[in-house]
Structure 1
């Protein structure tokens, strides 16, 4: 068998998986024994660093779980809500709707409060519903809806939920590690995220940063064995070990990614880099005639959604960029023809300068 040349690694302009640093990929080159003290210490470091990113104090615990971000969302809903509880999901995109689907599948009562995909959640409307519907026990919100890249008002919603005595479950999948989140000041019951987005690790781990008091109340509550967040937490608290075989190389990569986040200056510095990427992208895309789907005031520096111009052939556009080493994302909206370009990952504005030169070339050929 003749081996061909190894293809160049593409630049991923997606909301995850995303482009990772060589050091993060290199961390996966070692094998680990999952019950070995060295790996247990690595897991301990992982959990401590996740708490630090969230600015969480002693009242919180970090609970990683094998799988994608959806796994940790399902684990949290199944564990933190009892069959007698009722969840209110604040929806303005596909990932809020997915939480509704998960709650129903797990046998939990759920209601949805919806906004159009180009409008952020309105805290005042949430307050009205919580006042008028007393049997709602929990609220769930997506921080940054990567359906469009819209940013939702976490602090305002969290304050309203706390005043109403309803725990808030926050899907911070595409914001954790870059957008501001301070659990010492923002009352959130559980923050859910994954390894392969703003933390710039590789796919394979979801995690919850959850209130210990909330976890203590839900022993035996989950209908699942592998997705039992309480049992997973108790396993870590007992001997520092994962209950079931962990993705050891993914853990090592995530710890290295968290070390790099600290060295960069933490989430604040990472947000500035991503904002620079977004500014470079938006300025050039406007010059080329592409219209941003969202009002820029609610656009998070995570992923940008652009309207497709008349006669636009997304498949040809995608393929032409892929040939040049750039992978973008199709649209995920129900009511508009769009495509998306992510600005997160181990990328800097000069990477976007190269991307935009490629887009300009592709557009010129199409014209």
Structure 2
């Protein structure tokens, strides 16, 4: 789907958030938060039920085998809740990492005091199915695998279908952190097998921050009672209370839920996962092409570039100072994202949110003007960065 006319601006004077969330939202999504709701009221309970039903439908379940459980807090709260609820105390997790969020999952397991092992691919490459299969063969104690669908610290889109096949061929179970991908990239339960996945309101469905959600196989959730390390982060207890009362166990972010329902309406209006993903892909392609014409180079080769966020090397030109570049981009109406790599200097430009290819062309023009104002004559990265990428990606 190619946009023929620009999307309406989010709000006069607001900068666009070129980040992996929070992100730029539609004005009608903001407006939905102007009404107060009672968390115990029947109207709000109906809103929660609608939210859960729509999310399960987005995951492709038509047989009633999966349920949705919303959880208060940021996405990381829901990731910890998923790991703490579905990994039994005597379980062991294979964590697949190729960036900060995979490593955060490993750190979470350490805090939970449960067994885990790690495949760390660094910043440049995805974990592959054959590596997963070999690791599972080598350690029969592993019961679960967790993978990040889109690793936004680098922008890598990981091959979750391939990984799922490897996991279930070895008789293990898969958990997916699809925080920055669900709603724009396919994760159909009929095509990719998993026990549970986690995402957040303020990502590809274009809501605002305040809650995450877990979509889980009902039978797996039923068997998870007593696993959790936490009162507030117990997904089984949250689900059981929702089933019994229609209410969240503790105070829900009522305004955020109202905004999310409007965001879901817009998502469906755009064509669902396929329509949203097509716009984001076009955003990426237009922006990457333009930035490369300016001399910038992407961290990743095209094969692994996600339509969620793209990482660029910082220019080698001594006049380039990221903080100055950031401020100039902000003055021109665009908030970009610092890099999160451990080896080279970089920055990130998000492709998601209420914006289209017309906005992305303006992003490129803003970058061009910012470089000129800084006296940067070349956006080419340091030779050492390219050499490091070649070495690590070999």
Normalised TM-score (structure 2): 0.90
Q: Deviations over 1:169-215 (max 9, x none)?
A: 10000000001111122111101000001010000111100011111
Please state whether the residue corresponding to 1:365 is helix, strand or coil.
helix
Instruction: Supply the distance in 2 between the matched residues of 1:193 and 1:56 (Cα, whole angstroms).
Output: 16
1:141 and 2:152 equivalent? no
Match of 2:312, SS state, is: strand
* 1:241 corresponds to which of 243, 247, 269: 247
**CA–CA distance in structure 2, aligned partners of residues 124 and 157 of structure 1:** 8
Runs of 4+ in 1 over 4 A off after TM superposition: none
Pairing 1:190–2:196 present:
yes
Q: Following TM superposition, by how much is the alpha carbon of 1:306 offset from its aligned partner in structure 2, in angstroms?
A: 0.3
| Residue aligned with 1:290, SS | coil
Is 1:264 equivalent to 2:267 in the alignment?
no
Residue 291 of structure 1 aligns to a residue in which SS? coil
Match of 2:53 in 1: 48
Kindly indicate whether residue 339 of structure 2 is the aligned counterpart of residue 363 of structure 1.
Answer: no
- Tell me how many residue pairs correspond in the alignment: 362
Give, in whole Å, the separation in 1 of the partners of 2:360 and 2:113.
Answer: 45
Matches within 5 A, 1:107-186: 107-186=113-192
What residue in structure 2 maps to residue 352 of structure 1? 360
Partner of 2:205: 199
What is the CA-CA distance between 1:321 and the residue it aligns to?
Answer: 0.8
Is 2:26 aligned against 1:21? yes
Q: Separation in 1 of the partners of 2:60 and 2:265? A: 16
Q: Does 1:318 align with 2:323?
A: no
Partner SS for 1:61? strand
Kindly provide the CA deviation profile for residues 284-337 of structure 1, in whole angstroms up to 9, marking residues without a partner as x: 101111001101111010000000111221000001111111100000000111
Task: State the TM-score, normalized to the length of structure 1.
Answer: 0.97
What's the offset of the Cα at 1:7?
8.8
Q: Is the 8 A contact 2:32 2:259 kept in 1?
A: yes
Give the conservation status (yes or no) of the 8 Å contact 2:129–2:165.
no
SS state of the match for residue 60, structure 2? Answer: coil
Partner residue in 2 for 1:3: none
Q: Distance in 1 between matches of 2:12 and 2:30?
A: 16
Q: CA contact under 8 A between 2:339 and 2:346: conserved in structure 1?
A: yes
Query: 1:232 and 1:161 mapped to 2: Cα distance?
Result: 28
Q: Which moved more, 1:250-259 or 1:6-15?
A: 6-15
Aligned-partner Cα distance in 2 for 1:339–1:196 = 21
Contact 2:19 2:336 in 1 (8 A): yes
Answering whether residue 104 of structure 2 is matched by residue 98 of structure 1, we say yes
Q: Who is 1:250 aligned against? A: 256
| CA deviation after TM superposition for structure 1 residue 359, in Å | 1.1
